[in-house]
Structure 1
């Protein structure tokens, strides 16, 4: 659900139609759940999948084949401006009238095949090697209208990945092991985009291929029977892609979103104490990214609205620590806790879009008549510094019936984030925490489980995205927020039965 978070005085749709009449009975704010639209929206999902694996036992090896197939379909219709105002009249100087909606069908299909040969036995050397292939196809149509003269396009994109990989582990001593892995990846992407706007019909198609090799080296040592420390270095790769969205053009065909690469260092400990009643895992990490792929907001020259596009951040660094604890003080009670502290900083991103209304004093400057800013040294968007999870699970018998009960309570907290890569201060979400609870009952045969649950017990409201619609409402910072399902308290019953 998308609602108004803040509407300053003087906001006018396209700078023409005052927004006030559309807000009668609506109070913008963090807890706003009311919205007025031109047409009821909808979202429909349908997914199907198949997977299978076969293992052949050989004399000294095991040959494994894994095959998967997925088919996902999605269709939606959404109000574009979140009001019932005459946007078409304001946008076309009265040539047309009515509201504006956006949507269309989307289908994604993917099939994969992996062959893997693994060594058998418990010798000092163990290893595996394999081949992998994936083929994914996406089809999407999009219309912003309803008269279709604002955006109307069809697109098809494809991705084929072929890879060869190997990994081996060698036991140097009974307590020390070294492992190494290597993967060669060849990725081919393609796109076919047709802009169906009557004024500017055009088609673009392209194809690009990229090869990459990644690897990992790790060392493990057992300090004691149940205490292991480790260190590792790994390189990573995320392939190039075509950002298929409104405004796609020949330049995007020539310059697809570049591949993302990374170098990661990690040290940690995995341990058990008190006869396995206490488990403690700790990790410290540091990762450097080149051409980090992230969503950014771009001003569409036709609609004068900011839209989400995928872009490359020049250089990024993340580092932090993670701690996981599990404790079982008595047999029926399990306590769990995890804490993550992550510092994600943009190291180099000198020329990127300014956020709406950003001034020279706030870092926005004209370069070749284009407003740009330097984000080097800024925090990465949508990356909370702190995440905390706490949980408790209690198992109990129900008299002499043979039935068992499971009670669970868990809570999650995350610190504040900013949802705009351009660091718009209006796109902040303060830190928040939610608590969930459930009680489940199992029959003596353990094949029937009935769970009564409540999510967001204390009805804490929060947003999964905050957007500034500055250019839609006459250069006034009108904020909208996307409210996920879990931002409201809800309860229900889940029933599972195993045949």
Structure 2
């Protein structure tokens, strides 16, 4: 069953992307051999160094498809958090992003919704090597960040479980020993948006330094609630980070860091697109005299909700990283961390100006990790990284829903409580053997053993919507994730690679509001991903053009899929293992320094992510074979231009970008109720530098053309079609001081 509004020209898109890549290669390869002899050009690409392989290496020599955003790129794009980077990376999106505690990251068309204590995310987020184990920690604030590496495709060998679609590796800025530096950045924009950031780094001695960073963002919101005559869905978030770096000896470096984030804002989780269809809910609404929608249906950014909805989260953690270099240049690294997260929200469920139903979710998580590894130097013939990893997580979840049975003079108080624990142990190895200076064999493997336990209790006194039950369950599983690849270095500027790898995602339980149908699929099995990838990486035209291409096919067995399944006007939350899924496609990233003043960037992703087999997915005899995966657009692209020039004796820059997001579905059924049309957004930033004072004046705009678009939608328990709209145009001015 597939609902489409237009015929998809897949072949034409594939031909376009392949032709673009071949045209660029055929144009620049011969030219690069000639121009490479010329050393007169002083406008070259900035070298990008990443740590995707647990060691610092040039992005261009790492056999992984990776999109790297440096600090300057993040600033130009105007990204305040990880979610706001999605348009700059066409292979990634945040899917259902209506609540901070339910971040869903989709990479290469493969994502999930880790919305309760019984399930894990499909893409891993790491900050300074520390895994963010719950969805609440996925959308990291991007302040004091050196770079963000978006690793596309399964990363099971070096990053471990729950990276079957990819991993995001965030590196924060390290304080330096030899100078005191600081930054203050303040901006103000529409919707009363105040954004303030400050960083101060100072040496404590010749071998120790301290940095302290803080960021605060507050806005009134862009959604009008007619019932309360107020605006909601603004921002109220504060983050801080302190880091101490010291070197007791020439061989030992130690980093100790602490971070804290708090967020508390009035915010709705969605806007209604239609009226209640659940028979019980329709009757309850009619009792209070409501027989039609009272919202501004299909009018973006306007609601009429009586519930005082909110979205809150509090995150904090600390980590200790130690690197010891032996006399033979082997490096021993240890990373120990503790993290704590608390989230809470309250949601409107009837989307009416009367109290029929609300729901709320809360989750607390305490997490400990320990990693110890050794990295060899790059010898003439080989290099390797090997290590051990431990993970422990205690998570407590609670959900509450109220349904007002007005005709009975009573309220149905629905309760859900969970208490879970996860422990896992891993050993990993990744190494390279060089047959010649040009040909290299890559071998890697990871073994993981994991134990999980969960106490689940749900109660619906009236029995109108969900089951009342208690489950005390445990499960254990182990996994072996190998990787084999070949890397060929054509010359110092061109590399081609091919690899085969395996990754897995943990099994678990759907610890959510469940009815009699959903409880039958309470437990689900682990998922396996097998990836084949071919890649081309190059820096051409005397290092003025960077061209990276990756072609891939990933097969998923026992694919875990979350869906809102509709039946007779009501909605059921189903989390189940589908048969098989295939995600395949081509990704191209191009950066071209056209002149000393102009840099052009293009990223294109052509991805086909579908269910090969998903039998009886919508009920007996209703199959989803051939359906697209949720939040899996086929053709996304990003175009950007950066231009610098002199103005009144100082320098100025202009950044302009456009991101196109193709149509997609928000659910596995691919029906009209879950269809999201394609859209495009334009972003802008212009800066003027008062160089004598080290001051930057800037103006910015996100969604410059004020495009209204749907970024998420579904049908809730009451059978109400609802949607989350992307932010309208936001703009403002700012000033940045450096000292």
Structure 2-normalised TM-score?
0.57
**CA shift in 2, pair 1:81/1:447, >3 Å:** farther
Q: How does 1:85-484 map to 2 (within 5 A)?
A: 85=354, 98-145=355-402, 149-198=412-461, 202-247=469-514, 256-298=523-565, 305-354=570-619, 367=620, 372-396=621-645, 399-400=648-649, 404-441=651-688, 444=691, 451-468=698-715, 472=718, 478-484=720-726
Q: CA separation in 2, counterparts of 1:314 and 1:192?
A: 28
Aligned partners of 1:247 and 1:300 also within 8 Å: no
**CA shift in 2, pair 1:143/1:433, >3 Å:** same
Q: CA deviation at 1:259?
A: 0.7
Q: CA separation in 1, counterparts of 2:384 and 2:414?
A: 53
**CA shift in 2, pair 1:101/1:450, >3 Å:** farther
Aligned partners of 1:193 and 1:248 also within 8 Å: no
Aligned partners of 2:486 and 2:498 also within 8 Å: yes
The answer to whether residue 736 in structure 2 is matched with residue 490 in structure 1 is: no
Q: CA deviation at 1:192?
A: 1.2
Q: CA separation in 1, counterparts of 2:735 and 2:423?
A: 39
Report the secondary structure of 1:297's partner residue: strand
Aligned partners of 1:104 and 1:141 also within 8 Å: yes
Aligned partners of 2:414 and 2:461 also within 8 Å: no
Q: Alignment partner for residue 351 of structure 2, among 79, 82, 90?
A: 82
- Structure 1 runs not aligned, ≥5 long: 86-97, 355-366
**Bigger relative contact order, structure 1 or 2, given CA contacts below 8 A and separation 6+?**
2
- Residues 375-412 of structure 1, C-alpha deviation per residue, up to 9 Å, x if partnerless? 112222221111101111233455446xx544211111
Q: CA deviation at 1:214?
A: 0.4
**CA shift in 2, pair 1:133/1:395, >3 Å:** farther
Aligned partners of 2:400 and 2:415 also within 8 Å: yes
Q: CA separation in 2, counterparts of 1:164 and 1:110?
A: 19
Report the secondary structure of 1:17's partner residue: helix
Structure 1-normalised TM-score?
0.83
- Structure 2 runs not aligned, ≥5 long: 1-267, 405-410
Q: CA deviation at 1:242?
A: 1.8
Q: CA deviation at 1:414?
A: 1.4
Of Structure 1 and Structure 2, which has the larger fraction of its residues in strand? 1
Aligned partners of 2:536 and 2:548 also within 8 Å: yes
Q: CA deviation at 1:479?
A: 2.4
Q: CA separation in 2, counterparts of 1:242 and 1:290?
A: 18
Q: CA deviation at 1:495?
A: 6.2
Q: CA separation in 2, counterparts of 1:156 and 1:448?
A: 51
- When the two chains are superposed, the root-mean-square deviation of aligned CA atoms in Å is 3.1
**1:89 match:** none
**1:90 match:** none
Aligned partners of 1:187 and 1:210 also within 8 Å: yes
Q: CA separation in 2, counterparts of 1:13 and 1:194?
A: 25
Aligned partners of 1:384 and 1:415 also within 8 Å: yes
Aligned partners of 1:22 and 1:83 also within 8 Å: no
Q: CA separation in 2, counterparts of 1:462 and 1:250?
A: 34
Q: How does 1:5-20 map to 2 (within 5 A)?
A: 5-7=273-275, 13-15=281-283, 17=285
Q: Alignment partner for residue 46 of structure 1, among 305, 314, 323?
A: 314
Aligned partners of 2:311 and 2:344 also within 8 Å: yes
Q: CA separation in 1, counterparts of 2:455 and 2:340?
A: 20
Q: CA separation in 2, counterparts of 1:255 and 1:123?
A: 53
Q: CA separation in 1, counterparts of 2:592 and 2:430?
A: 34
Report the secondary structure of 2:350's partner residue: coil
Aligned partners of 1:22 and 1:84 also within 8 Å: no
Aligned partners of 2:607 and 2:635 also within 8 Å: yes
Aligned partners of 2:514 and 2:572 also within 8 Å: no
**CA shift in 2, pair 1:116/1:443, >3 Å:** farther
**2:125 match:** none
Q: CA separation in 2, counterparts of 1:405 and 1:343?
A: 41
**CA shift in 2, pair 1:245/1:300, >3 Å:** farther
Q: Alignment partner for residue 66 of structure 1, among 335, 338, 358?
A: 335
- Residues 430-481 of structure 1, C-alpha deviation per residue, up to 9 Å, x if partnerless? 1111111112455649986665321111111111222235x736xxxx5211
**2:86 match:** none
Q: CA separation in 1, counterparts of 2:319 and 2:690?
A: 30
Of Structure 1 and Structure 2, which has the larger fraction of its residues in helix? 2
**1:357 match:** none
**CA shift in 2, pair 1:459/1:308, >3 Å:** farther
Q: CA separation in 1, counterparts of 2:449 and 2:314?
A: 31
**CA shift in 2, pair 1:146/1:377, >3 Å:** closer
Aligned partners of 2:276 and 2:282 also within 8 Å: no
